[in-house]
């Protein structure tokens, strides 16, 4: 019995992981298409046509160079904001509403995730007074990136249950509380800065 079922299960799993269609008892089960992520390859031409005239290594207005994937990623936050405000591409306010503009914004936004630098000031204001150095309450330090990452899962529980900061149950629902909560769920370090080539 096991000898028969086990390989069948394996091949089923294999086809799931390969994203292939499933063939079960003669019927074809097509898994739902996952929403495709926008990749750099999808938007490289859009950047070339709409941005690089002013943001290449040769012509870098505002010291902004967007000519490689790395450079674009390191400025994704600023670029997304500038696009949504309609200030970039300079002189083309309507670009953000075009299909190309929408695709570029979707790509830039998909790169956004909270990193330590985004929430460090919130920790500083709301937690660090009681959670720093050798006198940290319960020995839980939140005063450096490494300690904050190390203690994120415990902090997630305390904030999730609105038990920290003490006697401030409303903090959890505030904007800062929500940002902190999502960082504790996925405590990413601040990325190392990418150096852009100077023109
Ligand atoms: C016609 C020239 C021109 C084009 C095209 C252009 N920019 Fe700019 N961009 C500028 C100039 C000039 C500045 C510097 C503005 C300043 O310092 O106030 C700038 C600054 C920026 C900045 C930094 C300023 C900020 O708001 O943080 C970003 C990011 C940026 N551009 C992104 C883009 C992107 C993305 C595109 C393409 C979708 C683009 N730009 C197209 C001229 C241009
Ligand atoms: C006013 C001082 C104070 C502030 C501000 C404060 N805490 Fe605490 N924290 C305490 C005390 C006291 C304890 C020990 C409480 C206990 O044992 O019940 C504690 C315990 C903890 C623990 C350990 C719980 C465990 O046993 O696993 C975590 C994690 C924690 N706090 C996270 C935070 C976070 C996150 C913030 C900011 C949002 C914060 N604290 C703000 C005083 C504070």
Please report the pLDDT score of residue 170 as a whole number: 97
Ligand sitting nearest the alpha carbon of 178: 2
Give dist(CA 133, CA 121) in Å, integer.
17
Which atom of ligand 2 is nearest to 184's Cα? 35
Residue to mutate, 53, 55, 77, 196, ligand 1, most ligand atoms under 8 Å from C-beta: 55
Q: In whole angstroms, what is the distance from residue 155 CA to residue 44 CA?
A: 40
Tens place of pLDDT per residue across the chain (199 aa): 444 454 444 444 444 444 444 444 445 555 555 455 788 999 999 999 999 999 999 999 999 999 999 999 889 989 999 999 999 999 999 999 999 999 999 889 877 778 899 899 999 999 999 999 999 999 999 999 999 999 999 999 999 999 999 999 999 999 899 889 989 988 888 876 656 566 6
Q: Distance between CA 99 and CA 95 in Å, rounded?
A: 8
Cβ–Cβ < 8 Å for 48, 190? no
b/e sequence 135-159, b meaning 16+ C-beta within 10 Å: ebeeebbbbebebbbebbeebbebb
């Amino acid at each position: 019995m096991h000898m028969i079922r086990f390989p069948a299960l394996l091949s089923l799993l294999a086809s799931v992981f390969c994203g292939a269609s499933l063939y079960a008892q003669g019927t074809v089960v097509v898994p739902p298409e996952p929403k495709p992520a926008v990749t750099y390859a999808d938007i490289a031409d859009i950047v070339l046509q709409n941005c690089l005239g002013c943001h290449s290594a040769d012509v870098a207005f505002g010291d902004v160079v967007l000519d490689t994937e790395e450079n674009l990623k390191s400025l994704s936050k600023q670029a997304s904001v500038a696009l949504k405000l309609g200030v970039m591409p300079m002189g083309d306010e309507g670009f953000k509403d075009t299909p190309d503009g929408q695709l570029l914004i979707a790509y830039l936004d998909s790169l956004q995730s909270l990193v330590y630098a985004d929430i460090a000031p919130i920790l500083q204001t709301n937690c660090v007074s009681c959670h720093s150095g050798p006198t940290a309450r319960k020995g839980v330090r939140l005063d450096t990136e490494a300690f904050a990452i190390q203690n994120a899962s415990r902090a997630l529980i305390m904030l999730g249950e609105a038990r920290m900061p003490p006697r401030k149950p409303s903090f959890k629902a505030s904007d800062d509380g929500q940002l902190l909560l999502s960082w504790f769920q996925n405590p990413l370090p601040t990325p190392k800065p990418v150096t852009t080539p100077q023109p």
